[in-house]
Structure 1
């Protein structure tokens, strides 16, 4: 029930998946009530402090971005945020020398293992929770997401792609550190060969490769020589992303997040809708089981697509 930080500094190095540029990132223990704060050091040596909260989120499709996309910002933070959130790390400074976190091998496993190695330290301040009190939903272009009351932190994610390798997949589970590490942390980002040239021309996916992404051909073939890590790796990665995007609430969420054909923008809009309705939630210091589970009605929508940590 108390806030937590990491036991020691952790350093990472790699490349950004979209910009393809080298990046160094360090996780640094932080005091109580700090939250997750990015310290971006630009090329002139100036430090920009950007809190990882919903109010600082730019609505983007391809990744989660905090800060001003035209100025000081950090992109593709979702895998790191998911690892911190799932492991129960409340307070940490993220020092970074580029506008994008390192992609590692396209998932959150490297972050999880590094945090486990550094250890987690309890701090002398109560943790705050956001408890969902009533349903809040958003819809966008055939996609739908909603928050509902639930006695815990739960994700129910459904995807539906025309590509035969994916099709319709569903992942539903309450979030725990153990379940995240086992079921979600190794699920990699994915993309389609048909989109590669378009993304490159737009300046994206410049650091993407078979070492950090699952790549699909139009006929449904998985191009990666090692295949998939999970039979339903695609929906598990979408769930991983949703965990990271929910972390931008700035507090732990006690509720169920459900989405159909969602992505980063829909996740952000749903969280913003929840936070905008003060009747939809309350802030508490102690998780409670007094909120009765709400019977979930089905979502109805139209179907439519060199790194390593060093613990110091």
Structure 2
């Protein structure tokens, strides 16, 4: 039995992974509505996940690390980099579905090239990414993986919403667990919860196909704010004013709504830069709350420890540098469109 609360626990030993080859995707940005091409290539052990805006002039292309320090906004999606210059600035948005697929499938190192400021939404879930990774193959690398072990409880409260990191219980071993609960004021959704231990099979079978969702009543508001311009029944579950699902095929899962919120949480917390060991619980959460909880966890070294794996580093020296979280005024809990 290993205590997670006292002393230095034994390091979890697994190898880092990358893709066996390059995969490509073409789609639209759910918020921009513009066509997007993206490729994901293998990367050396220890380099982590990085994004590159291939449409920018070469002298302006700088790696954007998939790291909480690069989070710049959380308005209905997670944005990394520097969006201050608009679409032409070195940033990428709506990274959460892709990041969820990468960390859930155990992919530690990859280079992602995208020719616009947004990841293609595909069908609004992570399913297409999972299928592509499995088709090309995932290969082990000759370095051990680094893990972030939660040592003590860390909690963030925002009105009726909250998020909590807790250590693994004695005897449970080193696991990554999620306990996600939502509560919408519509009889179609109401109060739903999903909990489980994250693994490739659990993610693939229980979360990966859960799509982003939103309400018809919010469409004009989103459009006016520049969001959801690419949203359609092909990539979103749409809820009508009479509390029914508009999509002809209906839902993919029982309680698909909370499963998508859990998928988003997996993607947002992947920005720790390594898998965490412990439990993450949220109630009425969203991108902003996920980001703030992760920042609070990492704000005090007494809250966590790293296992003895290799830390990721951007090997070509084109790091984006630290970007402060600037979208903290966004609602912690709102209609999902991410």
Alignment partner of 2:211 out of 181, 185, 188: 188
User: Alignment partner of 2:279: what SS?
Assistant: strand
- 1:140 alignment counterpart: 158
Matched, 1:233 2:251: no
Q: Which residue of 2 aligns with 1:295?
A: none
* 2:187 and 2:243 in contact (8 A); partners too: yes
| More strand by percentage | 1
Aligned residue for 1:269, secondary structure, equals: helix
How far 1:111 sits from its partner (Å)? 0.1
Partner of 2:199: 176
Task: List 4+ stretches of structure 1 deviating above 4 A.
Answer: none
Displacement of 1:220: 1.0
Q: Distance in 1 between matches of 2:334 and 2:223?
A: 24
Q: Report the secondary structure of 1:23's partner residue.
A: strand
Is 2:277 the counterpart of 1:254? yes
SS at match of 1:159: strand
Q: State the alpha-carbon separation in 1 of the partners of residues 51 and 73 from structure 2.
A: 18
**Distance in 2 between residues matched to 1:69 and 1:164, nearest whole Å:** 37
Task: Give how far 1:251 is off.
Answer: 1.0
Aligned residue for 2:124, secondary structure, equals coil
**What is the deviation of 1:55?**
0.4
Q: Which residue of 1 aligns with 2:328?
A: none
Q: Distance in 1 between matches of 2:210 and 2:285?
A: 16
In structure 1, distance between residues paired with 2:187 and 2:215: 12
Alignment TM-score, normalising by the size of structure 2? 0.83
Please give the alpha-carbon distance, in whole angstroms, between the structure 1 residues aligned to 2:102 and 2:308: 19
Measured after TM superposition, the shift of residue 252 of structure 1 is 1.3
* Cross-structure match for 1:32: 45
Residue 89 of structure 1: aligned partner: 107
Say if 1:221 and 1:140 are closer, same or farther in 2 by CA, change over 3 A. Answer: same
How large is the Cα RMSD of the aligned pairs? Answer: 1.3
Q: Aligned to 1:48, what secondary structure does the other structure show?
A: coil
Alignment partners' CA distance in 1, 2:224 and 2:56: 25
Contact 1:8 1:28 in 2 (8 A): yes
Check conservation: 1:158, 1:169, Cα contact below 8 A.
Answer: yes
Contact 2:181 2:191 in 1 (8 A): yes
Alignment match of 1:164 (pick from 171, 174, 187):
187
Alignment partner of 1:119 out of 137, 158, 161: 137
Deviations 1:80-137 (A, max 9, x none): 0000000000000001110000000000000000000111111011111110010001
Query: Could you say if the C-alpha distance between residues 159 and 246 of structure 1 is closer, same or farther in structure 2, counting changes exceeding 3 Å?
Result: same
CA–CA distance in structure 2, aligned partners of residues 224 and 69 of structure 1 = 33
Match of 1:155 among 178, 185, 188: 178
Match status 1:103 vs 2:121: yes
SS of the residue corresponding to residue 200 of structure 1 reads helix
Moved more, 125-134 or 46-55: 46-55
Offset at residue 163 of structure 1 (A):
1.2
Q: Write the distance in 1 (CA, Å) between the matches of 2:300 and 2:73.
A: 19
Is this contact kept in 2: 1:41–1:97, CA < 8 A? yes
Aligned to 2:94: 76
What's the counterpart of residue 2 of structure 1?
A: 15
Paired residues of 1:2 and 1:125 also in contact (CA < 8 A) = yes
